[in-house]
Amino acid sequence: MILYTPEELRLHLPNHAYDDVTSMFGAFRRSEADVLKEKIGAPLYAEMLKHYNAVEESVREAWLLQLNGPDPWAELTYLCQQVVVFDAFMRSADINAISVNQSGINQVSAENYDAATKDGIAAYKKQLYKETHDAVNRLLVWLEEQASQLGDGRLKMEDGILDESDESDGGSVSDGLPIETIITLWQSSKYYYLISDLFISTATVFNRYVDIHDSREKFINLLPDLRYCQANYIENELGDTLTADLLQKSMNGTGNPHENKLLDKIREALALCVESRSKLFDRKAAKDEAIGSIARMTEYLAWHILDFDPESVKSFPNYAQAMQQAEARQHPVSDGLPVGETTPWQNNQPGNAMLVMPTIY
């Protein structure tokens, strides 16, 4: 557990009147198990506990406030404590309002305090609910910022399993720099910010196209819709080989200008498809905008077909037609016939068409 003293609790709830927080230990444990561990992952939680328990209780408050110098583990613990405190008090608000003893069930009251009203408890829970989600978002934003500063090449993670290749010489993940260790361990969590198999890999990118108020929790809840829309709408339009090639270039940042332009159109189409499909949104125009965005995406690809990888682009369903049109654009016409073409016009041929203009007086 990462909170044991009234002084630590006061950092997050300054108006509390607890002389001993032992009675809240059960609620704290439940919140850590149900909320916090899911957000940061069990490996990072376990490592954070080691650092927290290594600090003497008499100096723990100063450590959390980093009065003696910056410490990433202190910052992480402080942010995690906020999540635990707000969630625990929100979930136990109704229970704490009732006292149970040998005489039965009683409304809690005390000298110099009035018992909270039903509306007061409801408002208190509502505010704690908001504070809990704000605290979760602050925690995830901080982790995301630290990860982005490190750069993906510094992280050792593949298919959700920590790479233990660096332990062969007797080392371990925790032997690295504090931030590097924190981010490496965080990758075991489903809330790790970088989803490598999606064109929209972070909440920040999604928020550029559809406003989710930069909520990392909301982005994680949208992942099933993102995967569905990418597999059934985007990949069907691009082809599997081209999709894989563009995903790799999106992650590595190695696309040429036309590929990067297409990636922007893909992300816009994907975000709008998710918005039109998910119940978290209710904007009626999203469906029509998604259809239009997919059309613009495929039109751009078809028009610039020659600027993409010649092998990967063959999986594009309209590849043959797009190549034919691209080759026609490369050979300009003169007097109605391609340059160098000597075959005269043939009458009465299938596909011939005649344009008749009205008489102009």
Task: Parse the chain into domains and list their residue ranges.
Answer: 6-186, 203-328
Using CB atoms within 10 A of its CB, is residue 314 exposed (0-12), middle (13-18) or buried (19+)?
middle
Q: Which pLDDT belongs to residue 114?
A: 62
Q: What does the alpha-carbon distance between residue 231 and residue 229 come to, in Å, rounded to a whole number? A: 6
72-95: b (≥16 Cβ within 10 Å) or e = bbbbbbbbbbbbbbbbbbbbbbee
Tokens of 264: 């922007």
Q: Are 2 and 81 in contact (CB under 8 A)?
A: yes
Q: Which pLDDT belongs to residue 147?
A: 85
> Which residue carries 């890999």 as its tokens?
201
Q: Are 196 and 164 in contact (CB under 8 A)?
A: no
Tokens of 246: 């563009």
Q: Which residues pair with 107 in a beta bridge?
A: 98
**HEC secondary structure over the chain:** CCCCCHHHHHCCCCCCCCCCCHHHHHHHHHHHHHHHHHHHCHHHHHHHHHHHHCCCHHHHHHHHCCCCCCCHHHHHHHHHHHHHHHHHHHHHHHHHCEEEECCEEEECCECCECCCCHHHHHHHHHHHHHHHHHHHHHHHHHHHHHHHHHCHHHCCEECCEECCHHHCCCCCHHHCCHHHHHHHHHCCCCCCCCCCCCCCCCHHHHHHHCCCCCCHHHHHHCHHHHHHHHHHHHHHHHCHHHHHHHHHHHHHCCCCHHHHHHHHHHHHHHHHHHHHHCCCCCCCCHHHHHHHHHHHHHHHHHHCHHHCCCCHHHHCCCHHHHHHHHHHHHCCEECCEECCCCCCCCCCCCCCCCCCCCCCC
The pTM assigned to this predicted structure is 0.68
> Which residue carries 């563009």 as its tokens?
246
> Which residue carries 């208190």 as its tokens?
124
Q: Which pLDDT belongs to residue 52?
A: 94
Q: What does the alpha-carbon distance between residue 80 and residue 53 come to, in Å, rounded to a whole number? A: 15
Q: Which pLDDT belongs to residue 154?
A: 39
Report, as ranges of residue numbers, the positions in the chain whose pLDDT lies below 70: 97-116, 151-176, 332-345, 357, 360-361
Residue range 137-178, pLDDT digits in tens? 899 989 988 888 876 443 443 333 344 334 434 444 455 578
Q: Which pLDDT belongs to residue 169?
A: 41
Q: Which pLDDT belongs to residue 251?
A: 82
> Which residue carries 């999604």 as its tokens?
206
Q: Which pLDDT belongs to residue 160?
A: 37
Q: Which pLDDT belongs to residue 332?
A: 66
Q: What does the alpha-carbon distance between residue 322 and residue 300 come to, in Å, rounded to a whole number? A: 10
Q: Are 214 and 204 in contact (CB under 8 A)?
A: yes
Q: Which pLDDT belongs to residue 25?
A: 93
Q: Are 29 and 35 in contact (CB under 8 A)?
A: no
Q: Are 173 and 184 in contact (CB under 8 A)?
A: yes
